[in-house]
Amino acid sequence: MAAGRAERTGVTETLTRTPFTAQQRRLAAGMVMAVMLVAFEVTSVITALPTITDELGGDSLYGVTLAIYTLANLVALVTTGEVTDRRGPALPFVLCITTLIAGLVVAAIAPSMVWVVVGRALQGAGTGGFAPIAYSLVKRAFPHDRQPMMYAYLSAGWVLPSLFAPALSGWVTDTFGWEWVFLGLIPFALAVGALAIGPMMRFQPQLLERDLEVRKRSRIPTAVVAAAGIGLLVTGVRFENLLVALASSVLGAVLAFPALRRLFPAGVLRARLGFPAVVACRILATATFLGADSFIPLAAARIHGQRPLVQGFVIIGAALSWTTGQWIRARRPPANPGAAMRTGFLVMFLGLALVAPVLWSGWPMIATFFAWSVGGLGMGLLWNPATVAAMSHAVEGREGEVSSQIALADAVGFSLMGGIGGATVAFADRTSWSLAGALGTNFALAGALALLGAFASRRVRQL
C-alpha cells in the first residue's frame, strides 16, 4: 500500500492506495462500461434527434422526447435505489439492461414520432437505474480511500463517447439512417450485462430491522406521481388552448411539487445547509447545462442548415471538457466542495454567454464548439465535488436511497428544462415567433439558473 500526505487549507488528508482485488477490478470495469453505454446512448440520440424529427415530422414532439426520457429516468432511479437497498444490485441491473434493449428496438422500428417517444421512455427507464446502482456499489464494494477515484473512473466512462459518439452518430445517420443509431447500441448493452452482473451478485444486503420499515413506506408510488405531475406540467405549456394549458399545468404542479418534497430531503427548496443544498445544486446544474446542450444541435440544423455530422461535432467539446473538469477535481479534491461547485456554476455561465451567438446564422460552428466547451468545463468542475459531498451523507444499508436522491435531482433538472425548452421550440413552430428567439429564451433561463446555483452552493457541506 502506498501512502502519502497532503496539507490543504488547514485540512490534512491521508492519500492511500488500497489495491483492488480481482473482483473489484471486474466490477469497476463493468460499472465504467455501463456509464459508457449511457453516454453513447445519450449523445448519439441527441445528435440524431433533429434528423428524426425532420423525417417523421415531429418538431412539436422534440421537447417531449427529451422530457419523457428523463421522466422515465425519475421513476427508474427511485425504484432501482430502493430495490438495490433491499435485494442487492444484480436484479435491478438485469431489469435495466432488458428495458433499455426493448426501448432501442421500439425506437428503431418506429413508424411515427409517437413511437420514438415510447422508445425513449423505455430507454430512460433502462438507463435511469445505472447511476444509483453505481454509486451504491462504490460505497459498498470499494475501500473508503479509493471511492473518490472510483467516481472519477465512472466519469471517465464519458471520454470515448464524448470523442466519438456524436460524430459517429452523425455519420451513421447520414450513411445508413437514424434507425441504426438505436440498433447499434444493442450489442453493447448485451456485453455490459455479461461483464457486470456476475460481480454484482456478490453484494447482497444484510436483512436489517430498518428494512421492514422501509418496505412499509416505499417511495416508488410517490415517484410515479411526481413523474406524472412533471409530465402534465411541461406538457400543459405546449397546448394552444389557453384554458387547457392552464388546467394541465396547474394539475401537474399540484401533483409534482408535494411528491417531490417527499422524495427529496427536507429543505431542498431553501437549499438548507448540508445535503439538501447539494441536491438543490444538482437540480440547478443539470437544468443549466441542458438549457444549451440539447438545443445547440437544433440551432446547427435549423438556423445554420448543418448536416447531422456537424450537429454532433459542436457539442463534442463540451462533453470532453466536462470529463476534463471531473478529472481535475478527482485528482485534486477540493477542501471546500461548495466553493468548487460555485466556480463550476460561474464557468458554466460564461460558457452560456459565449455560445449565445450560435443564434446568428453567420456565426461559425467552430466558434460554437469552443464556446460551449467552456460550459462543459464548468459542469465538470462542479460535478465530482457534488457527487462526493452527496455520498458522504449515505449510511450503511441506505446507499441506494441517497444515490437515488442525487440522481433524482439530475432527472428533475433535465426534465423541467427539457419540457420548458421544448415548449418554447413548439411555440415557435406554430407561431410567428422565431426559433432563434425561442432558443435565446432557453439560454437566458439557463444563465439565470447558473447564477442561482452559484448562490446555493454556498450552503453545501460534506461529512
Residue 14 β-bridge partners? 5
Whether residue 11 has pLDDT greater than 60: no
Q: Of 320, 317, 310, which is closest to residue 160 (Cα–Cα)?
A: 320
Whether residue 413 has pLDDT greater than 90: no
Q: For the chain, give the percent of residues with pLDDT over 90.
A: 34
Whether residue 8 has pLDDT greater than 50: no
Q: How many other C-beta atoms lie within 10 A of the C-beta of residue 167?
A: 18
**Distance in angstroms (rounded) separating the CA atoms of residues 89 and 81:** 9
At 332 the pLDDT is: 78
At 207 the pLDDT is: 47
Confidence category of residue 454, pLDDT binned at 50, 70, 90: very high
At 94 the pLDDT is: 93
**Mean pLDDT lowest among 179-188, 201-210, 218-227, 290-299:** 201-210
Residue 13 β-bridge partners? 6
At 422 the pLDDT is: 79
* Percent composition of the chain: helix, strand, coil (DSSP 3-state, to 5): 80, 5, 20
Whether residue 450 has pLDDT greater than 60: yes
Which tens digits make up the pLDDT trace of 160-169? 787 778 778 8
Question: Rg (Cα) of the chain, in Å, rounded?
Answer: 21
Which tens digits make up the pLDDT trace of 101-143? 999 999 999 888 889 999 999 999 999 888 889 888 888 888 8
* 5 sits in which H/E element: strand 2-8
* 12 sits in which H/E element: strand 11-17
* 61 sits in which H/E element: none
Whether residue 32 has pLDDT greater than 70: yes
At 238 the pLDDT is: 65
Coil, helix or strand at residue 396: coil
Rounded to two decimals, the pTM is 0.77
At 216 the pLDDT is: 53
Q: DSSP labels for 336-350?
A: -HHHHHHHHHHHHHH
Which tens digits make up the pLDDT trace of 288-313? 998 999 899 889 988 999 887 787 77
Whether residue 49 has pLDDT greater than 90: no
Confidence category of residue 205, pLDDT binned at 50, 70, 90: low
Amino acid making up residue 29: A
Mean pLDDT score, 440-451: 96
Confidence category of residue 174, pLDDT binned at 50, 70, 90: confident
- Which residues 6+ apart lie within 8 Å of 89 measured at CB? 133, 136, 137, 200, 203
Whether residue 3 has pLDDT greater than 70: no
308, 174 Cβ separation under 8 angstroms: yes
Beta strands in 108-196 (DSSP E): none
Instruction: Please report where in the chains the cell 397546448 appears, as a residue.
Output: 239
At 400 the pLDDT is: 75
At 451 the pLDDT is: 97
Average model confidence (pLDDT) across the chain: 84
At 2 the pLDDT is: 38
Whether residue 5 has pLDDT greater than 70: no
Confidence category of residue 279, pLDDT binned at 50, 70, 90: very high
Whether residue 363 has pLDDT greater than 90: yes
Mean pLDDT score, 308-321: 81
207, 88 Cβ separation under 8 angstroms: no
Which tens digits make up the pLDDT trace of 58-117? 676 777 787 788 788 889 988 988 888 888 888 999 999 999 999 999 999 988 888 999
**Distance in angstroms (rounded) separating the CA atoms of residues 93 and 34:** 10
Mean pLDDT score, 313-328: 84
Mean pLDDT score, 239-266: 85
